[in-house]
Amino acid sequence: MRGDGCVAAFRLGELFCGPGGIAYGATTAASKASGYSIVHQWANDYDQDACRTYISNICPSDPESVVCKDVRKLDLDTLSPIDALAFGFPCNDYSIVGEQKGMNGVYGPLYTYGVAALRMFQPIWFLAENVGGLRTANDGKAFRRILDDLRHAGYAITPHLYKFENYGVPQARHRVIIVGLRNDQKAAFRVPSPAPYSHMDNTCRNAIENPPIPPDAFNNELTRQASKVIDRLNLIRPGENAFTADLPEDLQIKTSTKISQIYKRLDPDKPSYTVTGSGGGGTHIYHWKEPRALTNRERARLQTFPDTYEFKGTKESVRKQIGMAVPCNGARIIFEAILNTFAGVSYECIQSNISLEEEPAL
């Protein structure tokens, strides 16, 4: 405890922790003022491979602190006290790519377990994350309800749609991040400005090639491409996909659903398009020069995981873990803004782009 009554090292609990993108960003964040940090306390996820990855990279000396269990069967009473909570609740029912069932889906209501943890532990602050489509699910009513539930748990909240490519991340990834500070705190969180990162080279070429990936890097196995896929990719130019390229009839994709990411090759001079957990049906991310899908290590670089970060599980499991994660560097920037908020250190900030009064809740 600091002399000002605020903890120096915030003990972080995490629900839906995945492979640890949020946790790595949190534990590597540092305030410009000395003495403020975030430390791992416990985490939970239902995916065994993701939990193994998390333990290996975040808390190898404390594997018991990661509870691999469906959150609906998790006993919060068995978890130790925390000062901060992070939860990237499942996005399946909020993604604009899916049916956007929202609260009517299987995964939509799972955010309530984060709310329950807030009510039980009353951490000083929290960070919640989901896809940009969260704002429009159920005609926007689901989002308003989530915001109201978080506020009624006792927090002043700041939601914002972060475009991570504007923060130096080599990927166009747009996510709603909600930061909440407990109502008894005098501090007020402000959204960090992307301006300090505008000079960064966040092209996918720079991310993947500089420095070169070591030959013995983790999770860098090549994906085998069928000869027809290679022929197709050889005719797709950087930035094009299977529907915008001039392909002969035998290499064309016969479907009425023309998703832009199908066999889309990266534009090396731009950030990558969004890294996802899928891979079948031409949804791998494809190299701009070589006629192949990216390796998992290349995908991890687009998510700003360090090369020392080893993902556990099969190649398909690793691909899913990487695609579902939050970019480490993007998370770190937000966590550093939180630390600076409590440290009383000024930082460049912007107005939130999400109003708390857009629509009434359900």
Catalytic center residues: 91
301 by DSSP, 3-state: which?
Answer: helix
CB under 8 A, 24+ apart: contacts of 165-168:
165/202, 165/271, 166/194, 166/197, 166/198, 167/192, 167/194, 167/197, 167/329, 167/330, 167/333, 168/197, 168/200, 168/202, 168/329
Total residue count of the chain as it appears in this document: 362
300 by DSSP, 3-state: which?
Answer: helix
CA separation for the pair 56, 312 (Å, rounded):
8
CA atoms within 13 A on the CB side of 143: 28
> Is the bond preceding 211 in cis, omega lying within 30 degrees of 0?
yes
CA separation for the pair 92, 100 (Å, rounded):
8
